[in-house]
Each structure stands twice: as C-alpha cells, then as structure tokens.
Amino acid sequence: MAKEFKITQLRLSDLEKELTYLKTTREREIAAMIAEARSYGDLSENSEYDAAKNEQAKLYGRIAEIEDILAHAVIIEDENEASGRVGLGCSVTVRNPETGEETTYRITGSQEADPMNYKISDDSPFGRAIVGKIPGETFRVNAPSGSYEMVVVNVTREG
C-alpha cells in the first residue's frame, strides 16, 4: 500500500509556505550562525558551532519531513459536504449528554491532527466514530480509556 497523507488544501498551502521559509530565510540564518561560530576558532571545543550544526540538522530533518508529506499528499475533497454530514475538513460541535458540555473539533487527516488544539484525526477512535454523522445524531466512541457517547450538535465547513 502506497503511503499517503490526507490533508486539507489549507494545510498544503501552510506546508508549502513553511518549506519555502525553511529553504530560504532559515537556511541562510543558520549558515550565518555556523560562519560566526567558526570565526571563534577551535571547532573541537566550540559550543556555538555545535549548537549551530544541531540547528542545521533539525532544519534539514524538518525539510525532509515536509517534502515527504508533500510528495505523498492527498488533498481532502469532502464527499459529505453537500449532505451536511461530518467529514474531513469540517468543524463539528459535539455535546456530552451526561454533562451537557459542548466542544468544537476540526476533523483532519493524521498529518494535521493536534488534539491539544481540538484538531482530531479521522483515523482516531473519535474520528472513526463521528465521520458520516449528522447534527442530532448520537455516536459511541470506543477509546482506549473507555467507551462513551456524544451527540453531534453542528457541522460547519471553511470556505
């Protein structure tokens, strides 16, 4: 099975901008840091040089990561958009029927997922349970920490 990363058009644009920044501005900044550190003399005991080289290694690692994502990116086209169902790229407000608490999440591909910022992968237990649901529908999440029910309150899309 070929590797693929499901991402939104917005995320694709963000990654392309980040890659351009890293390959131009940031690479020049780090090259200048290395040159300055070399001017301090003996490289075997030069902590500034070591730090700059570590930054360079992190930079090249991130560039390689972004290039891999872009090479295997599949732009999300939400087939559920017209139906009002939860799908990739949408924001969905859910309610806990036990507490009445409402929370809004964005459903993303795995590369965009960031649970601390309410971006949930469609491949997570929550994502698998909610994709395809409509407002008013109750769904059950079978998470490692236990099973629980939620209710879809609202589904919205960007753009």
Residues ≥6 apart with Cβ < 8 Å to 77: none
Residues ≥6 apart with Cβ < 8 Å to 147: 140, 141
User: Is 0.75 surpassed by the pTM of this model?
Assistant: no
Lowest mean pLDDT among 22-31, 39-48, 149-158: 39-48
The answer to whether residue 80 scores a pLDDT higher than 80 is: no
- Asked if residue 105 lies in contact with residue 127, where contact means CB atoms within 8 angstroms, the answer is no
For the segment 63-91, the average pLDDT, to the nearest whole number, is 81
- Asked if residue 72 lies in contact with residue 2, where contact means CB atoms within 8 angstroms, the answer is yes
For the segment 56-80, the average pLDDT, to the nearest whole number, is 86
CATH number for the domain running over 5-75: 1.10.287.180
What is the residue extent of each domain of the chain? 5-75, 90-157
Give the CA radius of gyration of the chain. Answer: 22
Q: Same fold for the domain at 5-75 and the one at 90-157?
A: no
Cβ count within 10 A of residue 105: 19
- Asked if residue 153 lies in contact with residue 93, where contact means CB atoms within 8 angstroms, the answer is yes
For the segment 56-82, the average pLDDT, to the nearest whole number, is 84
Distance from C-alpha of 58 to C-alpha of 51, rounded to nearest angstrom: 11
Convert the pLDDT of each residue in 35-48 to its tens digit: 998 888 777 788 89
The answer to whether residue 146 scores a pLDDT higher than 70 is: yes
Please give the pLDDT value at position 120: 94
Please give the pLDDT value at position 41: 79
Please give the pLDDT value at position 77: 64
CATH number for the domain running over 90-157: 3.10.50.30
For the segment 106-113, the average pLDDT, to the nearest whole number, is 86
Name the DSSP letter for residue 61: H
